Structure 1
């Protein structure tokens, strides 16, 4: 039997096509880029209702696990309800969490060991925005941080490096006495940047909605900052403890996304030599419940 050339060519083309399809099917698709937005988990979102409005704080268990656990515990037990913003200093911070309202009170739980720094490994998502001499500066979720360079991970026993939160506006810190390990229930929210606090007080989160509320709280002109007729927190709960109907759903712009880095570049161009990580506000989207 004679096999025509055309028949051979057609069979060969079919084989090549089949092989190409098989190769295409076996080749994994290219990895997807980072999502533009990320949802804040309800059990990591602290809802602080105050006499001036609502404040939403994203907790940072990656940075201060023990302090975040304490905040969650006290909020769940209603400890913070109706407590005063007893110490508020303009251009600095607003402090609360004292059942006595004097600065001398605390919860019935033992004091906490300071978490002024944390260990950052290659599995922790960190988005750098600048690389000064002291180490890269950027974000772990919504919290601004500075950290040692990745290159040092190879030389450490746990393959991690030190990082620490930066006291930019909205950052949540834990108050303490003179000793490093004396934080308990009192906390403060930054009204403005104050870098002198870096690595001296534990950072446990950041205000993602309601910084204008923090700045609207009554402040004192007294040197000690004690407010005579203070505003109060009316209710403090995790979003996960609220009913679905009143639970705010928050999304933050992913700090690993191209859109975020474009915003960083805009801020860098606008500020020039004065550029700081504190100049960057991470965009947020919130459902109507907030």
Structure 2
């Protein structure tokens, strides 16, 4: 398998490293009630030679891809894998057992999950409604959706939605066949919305974006040395060693105030990538 050489972009969430907590200057400091604790089975802890990166996976948008990442992580496939293709202001690609961009595992390739069906139960929080669409978040993942009013005329009572490629968003690499993703994935360094609905987005870096942006660039990287030294699911780390992770609850009042502040500051130029999602790692 030869993953696509197409570029990817990341949209801006204020992603912060442990143990600091950050919030924007507008709304008041978050209270204890404004935080949520992500499911430990949906959090990947990636220890690289440049530092730790923590990713929250979002099974609601791409269940097959999230299940594959969990399986490969637990099988140790990602331990020691290099970042072999890294483009500044775009993304860092890894996850190839050959470390060349031409490899994959013996598992069957994945069916594309470029879009998903959003229902009334989907935990989507709208931030704006431009031109018949809605933009917002599911957890920390930025999402674009058909306007909810369209559910009244669809056969399943749902609307189409998809992850949008803001900074930190995690996507799956593939070749020219839409259904050819296997093990390789990329972490966005900057935003690149032209990847939307062309590559499956299924998670986001919630801590360590500065680490992703520090990885040596190259297409391919010459003699790549930056690598994922150890990759684990948070739920598999012994309790005594497990970092404590919490993220601002995007369904709460603090986040609603943050969205209002960002929209007021950006005006017509507002993007869901302008919304900060504070994280607390201890």
| TM-score, with structure 1 as normaliser | 0.84
Choose from 161, 173, 177 the match for 1:163.
161
Q: CA deviation at 1:152?
A: 1.6
Aligned to 1:106: 104
Q: CA deviation at 1:226?
A: 3.2
Aligned to 1:96: 94
1:58-73 equivalence runs, <5 A: 58-73=56-71
Q: CA deviation at 1:134?
A: 4.1
Aligned to 1:119: 117
**Matched residues in 2 for 1:227 and 1:36: separation?**
45
Query: Higher relative contact order at CA 8 Å, sep ≥6: structure 1 or structure 2?
Result: 2
CA offsets per residue over residues 62-95 of structure 1, 9 Å max, x none?
0000000000000001000000001000000000
Contact 1:168–1:190 under 8 Å retained in 2: yes
**Matched residues in 2 for 1:159 and 1:284: separation?**
34
Aligned to 2:42: 44
Give the helix-richer structure, 1 or 2: 1
Choose from 269, 272, 276 the match for 1:277.
272
Aligned to 1:265: 260
Aligned to 2:151: 153
* SS in structure 2 of the partner of residue 285 of structure 1: strand
151-160 vs 56-65, which moves further = 151-160
Runs of 5+ unmatched residues, structure 2: 1-32
Aligned to 2:185: 187
CA offsets per residue over residues 236-263 of structure 1, 9 Å max, x none?
1100011001112211111111111111
165-174 vs 132-141, which moves further = 132-141
Contact 1:48–1:54 under 8 Å retained in 2: yes
Change (3 A) 1:42 1:161: same
Change (3 A) 1:100 1:168: same
| TM-score, with structure 2 as normaliser | 0.86
* SS in structure 1 of the partner of residue 268 of structure 2: helix
Change (3 A) 1:89 1:36: same
Aligned to 1:244: 239
**Matched residues in 2 for 1:246 and 1:227: separation?**
35
CA offsets per residue over residues 110-162 of structure 1, 9 Å max, x none?
10000000011001111111100140000011100011122222222221110
Question: Greater Rg, structure 1 or structure 2?
Answer: 1
**Matched residues in 1 for 2:204 and 2:251: separation?**
18
**Matched residues in 2 for 1:71 and 1:43: separation?**
11
Choose from 80, 83, 86 the match for 1:82.
80
